[in-house]
Structures are given as C-alpha cells and as structure tokens.
Amino acid sequence: MISAHMDEVGLMVKSITEEGYIKFQQLGGWLDQAIVNQRWVILNDKKDVLGVTGIKTVHVMSPEERKKIFDTKELFIDVGAPSKEYVENNLGISPGDPIVPFSPFSVLNDGELLLGKAWDDRIGCAMLIDLAKKIDDATLPYNLNFVFTTQEEIGLRGAMTSAYVTNSDICINLEVGVAGDFEYMSKDESQEELGLGPSIFLHDSSMLPDKN
C-alpha cells in the first residue's frame, strides 16, 4: 500500500450570530494566534464565501489584552453580512459548513519556491498520482494499492482503516516533513533541508517503523 492523505486543517461553521458574524471551531491542529486576521473561504452548496477573521479592535483593548493570545472562542469571521438572515438566505451558510484558508497559489518572488495552501499533503497526492501513471502498464509481481486517505489531520483515521481494508504486507506513506533550515530551528528538532530531496522517518508520535 502506498498512501497519502487528501484532507487539510481547516475550520467549521459552529453558529451564526444575530448580527451576521460566523462563529467557528477548529478542525485539525491550529495555533490560535495563527487564525487572527486571516482570510477564509466558507464552502457551501450555494457559493464560496470570502471572509476575514476578526477580534475585538485594538483601539479599545487594555495593555494586558494587547499581550494575550486570543482563544478561538473569542474570534469570529466577518463576511460583510448585515444579519443572520442574510448569511443564511443570501450566502447559503449554515452550521457544519467547512472553512478553508484563502491562500492562492503563486511563485515566491520569481524564485524556485512556491506559495500555496495544503502542501500537507497535496504534494503527497501529486506524487502518488504521478507514480500511478508511470506504472500504469507495468506488470508487477505483487498487488499494489494506491490509497488516498481522509481524516489524517484529526487522528490518522483513514490510514488505520485502509490498513485493514487492503491487508497489505508493507505500507509506504508519502507525507511532508519539517524543514530545519530556517530561523529558530535546530538540527536536533529537524535534519531536513529544502532542496536536499526526500527523507525517511524513523519515528513519529504514534509509531516506530521496522527498519528490517
């Protein structure tokens, strides 16, 4: 089995205030401070709705409030709506709708690096698709399963069920790593560097691979 996960970290609509603001909850591992002042796209059957995260304005914050990290419960998404009724009827938003970061793809300053969202794990999915095309006509001495999993960001759930479904003897998972060649990182925290090719993980928080 060769696998890669299709899901990404995001948010979900929790409720809509009477004033038309979106309250949300996190899906996957976020830092609360990374959510403030971000642009988002709320997905629903009617349209994709652009919004921006808001907090209490800094102009009326006390010195202590300016230093704090705002909890998700204190944040909201502003979609420019005048009321809850407008959000529901005109924009088609309802509780449970997924929310993803607004992060258009671009090349970083005409260099070799790329900006975009969900490289974790779109790059793994792209590699898996490319590999499948390359061996499409090949005859292999074993069964090969290409698996695109879901719910990785909330507990590796898809990978666990896939292992039982395919009953594979060997599993190779294509995933992103942590680049260590930038500020405030040490070799003890990560040995990977951009441009040096793929790496093999010998340990993560939930497993110890068999080197044999």
Residue type present at position 67: K
Which is nearest to 54 in space by CA: 20, 3, 105? Answer: 20
Q: Tokens 């304005």 correspond to what residue?
A: 57
How many residues does this entry show for the chain?
Answer: 212
Choosing from 74, 152, 153, 189, the catalytic residue is 152
- 152 in active site: yes
What would you report as the CA-atom Rg of the chain, rounded to the nearest whole angstrom? 21
CA dihedral for 189, 191, 196, 199, sign (positive or negative): negative
CB 96 within 8 A of CB 13: yes
Structure tokens at 15: 């409720």
With a CB cutoff of 8 Å and minimum separation 6, the contacts of 120 are: 8, 9, 175, 176
Q: How far apart are CA 23 and CA 13, in angstroms?
A: 6
Which is nearest to 101 in space by CA: 123, 73, 127, 120? Answer: 120
Q: Which residues are catalytic?
A: 152
